[in-house]
Amino acid sequence: MSEPRFILHFVTPLKNVSPFDVNMAADAGFDVIVPYTDVDLKEVAGLVQDAIFSRAPQDGKRTAVLIGGREPLLAIDMLEAAKNAMVPPHFEISVMADPSGAFTTAAGMVAVVERQLQTKGLKLEGRRVAVFGGTGPVGRIAGLIAAKAGAKVTLVGYDGLHRVTATCDQFGERFGVAMTPADGSDDAKKLKVVEDSEIILAAGRAGTRILTKDQLGAARRLLVALDVNAVPPAGLEGLDAFANGTPIEGTQGVGFGALAVGNVKFRTEHELLASMRDAAPRRYIGVDEAFEAARRHAAG
Condensed to tens digits (0 to 9), the pLDDT of residues 70-82 reads 999 999 999 999 9
CATH 3.10.20.600 fits 104-261, yes or no: no
> DSSP string covering 148-179, please?
HTT-EEEEEETT-SHHHHHHHHHHHHHH---E
pLDDT at position 3 is 81
Condensed to tens digits (0 to 9), the pLDDT of residues 129-145 reads 999 999 999 999 999 99
Edge to edge, what strands does the sheet with 244-247 contain?
179-183, 152-157, 128-132, 199-202, 224-227, 254-256, 244-247
pLDDT at position 223 is 98
User: Mean pLDDT for the chain?
Assistant: 96
Range list for CATH 3.40.50.720 in the chain: 104-261
**Which residues are CB-contacts of 262 (< 8 A; sequence separation ≥ 6)?**
108, 228, 230
> DSSP letter at 5?
P
Reference 45, options 91, 6, 89; nearest CA is 91
Across 259-278, average pLDDT: 96
| Start-to-end C-alpha separation, the chain | 41
Range list for CATH 3.40.50.10280 in the chain: 7-97
- Is the pLDDT at 1 greater than 80, yes or no? no
Across 45-68, average pLDDT: 94
CA distance 49 to 233: 46
> DSSP string covering 47-78, please?
HHHHHHHTS-GGGGGGEEEEE--S-HHHHHHH
Task: Give backbone dihedrals phi and psi of 175, rounded to 5 degrees, phi first.
Answer: -115, -5
CA distance 59 to 90: 10
Across 105-120, average pLDDT: 98
pLDDT at position 129 is 98
> DSSP string covering 232-253, please?
SSPSBTT--TT-EEEE-TTSS-
- Is the pLDDT at 159 greater than 80, yes or no? yes
CA distance 227 to 248: 13
CATH of 7-97, one of 3.90.1170.50, 3.40.50.10280, 3.80.30.20, 3.40.50.720: 3.40.50.10280
